[in-house]
A = this chain, B = another copy of it.
Amino acid sequence: MATTSIINTSRIAIVGLGQLGGSLALRLGEIKCRSLYAISRNESSIKDALDRGILEGGSTDASDILPVVDLTFICLPLTASIQFVKDNIDHFRPGSIVTDVGSVKGDIVRELRHILLDKGVYFIGGHPMAGSEKSGWSNCNSKLYQDAVVFLTPTPEDEPIAIDLVKNVWQNIGARPIEISVDRHDKTVAYTSHFIHLLSSAICKTVFSGSDDEAHELACGGAYRDTTRIASSNVNMWTEITKYNHEFIKNALADFKDEINSINDYLENKNWQEIERYFSDAKSKRDQWFKQ
């Protein structure tokens, strides 16, 4: 199957025009995929997308769209994604493929894969490593996925052709789809993103605890600004992510606490050589990652 043909032959629906779904719609519109549809509770986003000419159709009612599409991208928060599939299970076209963009894959794949498969619909979990602390249709950007890693979490029993189709759509829009197991994915993102969101919030709470907020406000500079940027993210979304991935997040937090305890020991013992080694080792790891 040539990679261009998928975009040229498939009818694609996007469910949810938030930052992730909306940016996907803008990009698919830009590369002129055959037929693009959107489902959203937000009529004004749909109207705007239709006005811009990137959609063949849009509706607030999923039953208008799902029966006619080959591939559905669910771009909703985690609980809403699961609920959407359950509420609309009879509208998906048998033989079609459903994928998502949720940040945690365990419960989504466990819940959705079998109920969709019972209806002859394939589910391939997906998670693009993209997005910012901003949300909503107004913060969409057709370049959001350029060169972004997109994890796909098929199970060994899934149809290779379904996996390939999802993979090829991501490749067509300039992203880098990579297959990974569900558990390895969830553990990985707990460490590289999810637990860091909790830390970032904890920094805000530590710095502005009320003890001397006036002076602290004056003294916050680039270090505070950058380490707490993600604490400005969508609260509901991150509460859900934390809930769905709490076991792996607890592992990451425990490992992090070990690091903090080591640092504390060095401080207690005035072991500046170990502090220097610690900063140096961290800098090496960060610089090595950054230059990739």
Contact = CB atoms under 8 A, between A and B. Distances in A.
A188 B149 CA distance: 39
A212 B188 contact: yes
A200 B149 contact: no
B287 A206 contact: no
B203 A279 contact: no
Given A215-B184, A230-B222, A205 B272 contact: no
Interface stretch (A52-60, A61-69, A232-240): A232-240
Contacts of A161: none
A41 interface: no
Given A207-B285, A253-B263, 13 more contacts: A129-B219, A187-B212, A188-B218, A192-B223, A193-B224, A196-B223, A202-B260, A208-B285, A226-B230, A227-B227, A236-B276, A253-B260, A260-B260
A104 to B, nearest CB: 13
Interface stretch (A87-95, A164-172, A244-252): A244-252
Contacts of A278: 198, 201, 205
A32 interface: no
B286 A231 contact: yes
A264 interface: yes
A229 interface: yes
Interface string A251-284: 0110111011001100110101001101111110
Interface of A: 129-132, 148-149, 151, 178, 180, 184-185, 187-189, 191-193, 195-209, 212, 215-233, 235-236, 238-239, 242-243, 246, 249-250, 252-253, 255-257, 259-260, 263-264, 267-268, 270, 272, 275-276, 278-283, 285-287, 289-290, 292
Contacts of A239: 272, 275-276, 279
Contacts of A252: 206
A27 to B, nearest CB: 18
A235 B283 contact: yes
B227 A282 contact: no
A188 B215 contact: yes
A278 B200 CA distance: 11
Contacts of A279: 197, 201, 231, 233, 235, 238-239, 242
A239 B180 CA distance: 39
A144 to B, nearest CB: 11
A12 B235 CA distance: 51
A85 B239 CA distance: 53
B235 A250 contact: no
Contacts of A196: 203, 207, 223-224, 227
Given A184-B212, A263-B198, A191 B206 contact: yes
